[in-house]
Structure 1
Amino acid sequence: MTSLWIQRCEKALAIQKQKKAYRYRKLISGGNDRILTYQGKRYLNFSSNDYLGLARHPEVIAAYQQVAIDEGISSGGSGHVIGYSPRHQRLENQLANWLSFPRALLFCSGYIANQAVISALTTVGDYIFADRLSHSSLLNAAIQSSAELIRFRHNDISSLQHLLQRFCQSNCLVITEGVFSMDGDQAPLSTMIPYIRAVDSSWLMVDDAHGFGILGLDGCGCCWDLNQDFRPEILIVNFSKAVGVSGAAVLCQEQVAEYLIQFSSHLIYSTALPPAIVAATEVALTLIRTITGKALRQQLQDNINHFRYGIQALGLGYRLLPSITAIQPLLIGDNLSTLNLVSQLREQGLWLTAIRPPTVPPNSARIRITLTAAHNYNDIEQLLEALANVNK
């Protein structure tokens, strides 16, 4: 007899298929490269978040290989047991000094870092004010926390200001992304921060996964855009996007770092980042801060500009969201049309991905085009030509 557990699963899966929202994993080779391979066919890759192409940089690879040979693959345990090495400490200090924070703590992923901070810092009686379009790692952590979650309208300062004024007697944590992962736009940090700082009990937490390494002075991220300092109380930087590796870090005050070390289950009970990953991250961050990183950021920006100019000239029947970042979402609307468009583009040798609810709001399914410094002029032209063909 089929158990109630299986019946529950089958019902949910049937609904997911009916909504055209069913997700499939695909066996892909070269997903972090300009060209990927799927079922023996090669595709131009416009779905990678390796924005600067550092995942295949020879110096980053060499650093990983050498430390893997010298020190092995695993860190051997939690940082609270034997997994915290001088190499981990050096990377934390490098990040803290570069980004002008008292402390940095390494985590295994950006998702885990967001979960760790929100779950450890907030308690009953606190409020979390989250931008409505924040990443699921932020929203899920807020929902699961003991604090009360209230979402404010996307990038709407008046909506946030109303919440701050209404609940100013309690501890309030404002959370947002620096660059929003599905829309590609940026949070208005320069406008947000004065309102948040005006309330003594309010802090700002920024997840800058998609801005770090690309935007701001020397790739510091959104909080240093236009050479201005918009540092939040808590900053999350991610190593799996522009840095081209994996892992993340929390930048914060001394007391917050010590608090997380004592009380964050995500930190205490997770095996620390492998030493080879730490070594590769150190090298990648050095490249980002040098002339190599500057050139890669310029190449990426040239690709973005060329794509946006070209697609506007095409006059497509779809809406290109107003993003100046590597994330270029083409809004389609319904799930089926989006899936069909992706299928037609793949027939022309382009790998793009359909993003559907609940990842994005209802009726806002889209093709999330991501551009990288590894793309060239001809790649962009091929993408534009394919979009023009399917538009006909």
Structure 2
Amino acid sequence: MSHTAAPVPVFQLMADELAERQASSLYRNRRVIDSPQGARVQLNGREVLNFCSNDYLGLANHPAIVAAAQQGAAEWGVGSGAAHLVTGHFTPQHTLEERLAALSGKPAAILVSTGFMANLAVIPALLGRGDAVFADKLNHASLNDACQLARADFKRFAHNDVAQLERLLSESTSKRKLIAVDAVFSMDGDIAPLAEMLALAEKYDALLYIDDAHGFGVLGDGRGTLAELGIDSPRIIYMATLGKGAGVAGAYIAAEQVVIDYLINTARAYIYTTAAPPLLACALHASLDIIEQDVERRARLQRHIATFRAALADAPCELLPSSTAIQPIIVKDNATALALSQALLDADILVAAIRPPTVPTPRLRVTLSAAHSDADVKLLCREIRRVLAAQG
């Protein structure tokens, strides 16, 4: 017997909130891509130049990595079947952890399914009530969520403000203290003052947790931001994702052996989840081979960054001081960000409009890749200047 269901009030509340988001140019939609990741992708039946991807080295569809994944699937299957602590920890994963630890200059490492999960694993495992965590206000949402989940005293300091961080540390009476920060900020593209933060960690007996999602594979000859800056300490707990510069998926945490052992025993987001398929570890071994050997990819990316910044230095827009593949263009409001993104898409160029609450100020977020050609980047710059001029 059928009947008409009564309206559910909570659904109307959701609908009202979504309508408010649409009115404020804050509504989010997904794009469906009909091709592998690359400098060019198929979108709605046409080819567009892709300046949205975090595939900084152009490895996401590299034939050697694809072949390694295929061979990994043939040898190890497509599912891990269990958590790492049960029967889900395979030889290619174990050897990958050893390789990533060595690459990061740390005694040990563990793999985690995503960078978001890595942050949720580490911070709540290391901190609890009565402890304190100190975080940059522009940290990634996953770091913020992890800090809140830890139930520690959560102190935020202004972006890259080392003086404020020191004041907060000096005022803290917590027994355990941790500084949590992005290495490369995902929406501004700048690099945290990690050497100064490490000095404060040493001074105030704190740990330093570094999320290097956007530096690994790209900076420091591929070893990441710590290598780029030439810093190291047992106090550093290092996390990097493997779906951006490395082109595959997942993340890893590298630290002192006692820290990794502690996380294996206490980190809920690591313990209570099915491990990633071992075929991904096979693909990542191939990715690391390319990262270590193909230095031209990083050199080409650096040329693209220099070209982009030089071409738009006198354009009627605000560039942020980024030396990385992330190049934001600040605009006056959400509607302008959407209009500029759509104007570029009309010219077959895909650039994301990023709006609050993801960022405090609306912007276009251009991401450059070694997969782009010099001509691609020059075309992007010409079209950005054109659409900016048309917007007035």
Whether the 8 Å CA contact 2:201–2:235 is kept in 1: the answer is: no
Instruction: Supply the distance in 1 between the matched residues of 2:348 and 2:42 (Cα, whole angstroms).
Output: 10
Whether the 8 Å CA contact 1:168–1:199 is kept in 2: the answer is: no
Q: Which runs of 5+ in 1 are unaligned?
A: none
Instruction: Supply the distance in 1 between the matched residues of 2:263 and 2:342 (Cα, whole angstroms).
Output: 45
Note the 1:242-261 alignment, pairs <5 A: 242-261=245-264
Aligned residue for 1:329? 328
Q: Deviations over 1:339-367 (max 9, x none)?
A: 00111111111001100000001xx1000
Instruction: Give the superposition deviation at 1:10.
Output: 1.5
Q: Which amino acid aligns with 1:273?
A: A
Aligned residue for 2:51? 46
Are 1:387 and 2:384 matched, yes or no?
Answer: yes
Aligned residue for 1:298? 299
Aligned residue for 1:368? 365
Whether the 8 Å CA contact 2:125–2:267 is kept in 1: the answer is: yes
SS at match of 1:174: strand
Question: Higher mean Cα deviation, 14-23 or 129-138?
Answer: 14-23
Whether the 8 Å CA contact 1:223–1:231 is kept in 2: the answer is: no
SS at match of 2:312: helix
Structure 1 residues 228 and 118: alpha-carbon distance in aligned structure 2, compared to 1, 3 A threshold:
closer
Aligned residue for 1:119? 124
Instruction: Give the superposition deviation at 1:172.
Output: 1.3
Instruction: Give the superposition deviation at 1:266.
Output: 1.0
Whether the 8 Å CA contact 1:326–1:370 is kept in 2: the answer is: yes
Instruction: Supply the distance in 2 between the matched residues of 1:230 and 1:78 (Cα, whole angstroms).
Output: 31
Note the 1:105-254 alignment, pairs <5 A: 105-200=110-205, 202-216=206-220, 218-229=221-232, 233-254=236-257
Whether the 8 Å CA contact 2:109–2:254 is kept in 1: the answer is: yes
Structure 1 residues 223 and 144: alpha-carbon distance in aligned structure 2, compared to 1, 3 A threshold:
same
SS at match of 2:53: coil
Aligned residue for 2:3? none
Instruction: Supply the distance in 2 between the matched residues of 1:12 and 1:102 (Cα, whole angstroms).
Output: 48
Instruction: Supply the distance in 1 between the matched residues of 2:137 and 2:11 (Cα, whole angstroms).
Output: 33
Instruction: Supply the distance in 1 between the matched residues of 2:336 and 2:183 (Cα, whole angstroms).
Output: 30
Instruction: Supply the distance in 1 between the matched residues of 2:286 and 2:358 (Cα, whole angstroms).
Output: 33
SS at match of 1:180: coil
Q: Which amino acid aligns with 1:298?
A: A
Q: TM-score, normalised by structure 2?
A: 0.95
Q: Which runs of 5+ in 2 are unaligned?
A: 1-5
Whether the 8 Å CA contact 1:223–1:230 is kept in 2: the answer is: no
State the percentage of identical aligned residues.
39
Aligned residue for 1:61? 66
SS at match of 1:170: coil
Whether the 8 Å CA contact 1:110–1:209 is kept in 2: the answer is: yes
Instruction: Give the superposition deviation at 1:333.
Output: 2.8
Whether the 8 Å CA contact 2:108–2:257 is kept in 1: the answer is: yes
Instruction: Give the superposition deviation at 1:15.
Output: 1.8
Aligned residue for 2:347? 348
SS at match of 1:54: coil
Aligned residue for 1:75? 80
Q: Which amino acid aligns with 1:167?
A: S
Aligned residue for 2:107? 102
Note the 1:22-37 alignment, pairs <5 A: 22-30=27-35, 32-37=37-42
Instruction: Supply the distance in 2 between the matched residues of 1:234 and 1:32 (Cα, whole angstroms).
Output: 31
CA RMSD after TM alignment:
1.3
Q: TM-score, normalised by structure 1?
A: 0.95
Tell me the number of residue pairs that the alignment of Structure 1 and Structure 2 aligns. 384
